Amino acid sequence: MAENDIEVGESVEVSALVDESGDVIGTVVDDVIVVTGEDGSIVEETIDVFDADGNLVVEEDVVDVYDADGNLVAEAGEIIIEG
């Protein structure tokens, strides 16, 4: 990687939650963003859980910071529970 180059990548996965009858009762969205430079990386992962009506039930957001050698140097996160 050339000096001062920054790479950004994102991955989004959506999974359906089903009951015993196979009916969809909700969804889970897992969104991961990675920003990498010569000094290290930042990884942010957001997991959202929605009910069958599309209402947000729970959201978890975690940010990890890694140094240039791949060592975890900081981590922050929160869980938000809606109505």
Q: Is 24 within 8 Å of 17 (Cβ atoms)?
A: yes
Domain extent listing, the chain: 7-81
How confident is the prediction along the chain (83 residues), in pLDDT tens digits per residue?
566 799 999 999 999 999 999 999 999 999 999 999 999 999 999 999 999 999 999 999 999 999 999 999 999 999 888 76
Please give the C-alpha separations between residue 76 and each of 13, 30, 35, 47, 65, in angstroms, as whole numbers.
22, 17, 16, 14, 9
Please give the C-alpha separations between residue 56 and each of 26, 36, 59, 60, 79, in angstroms, as whole numbers.
10, 30, 7, 11, 12
Which residues are registered as beta bridge partners of 7?
36
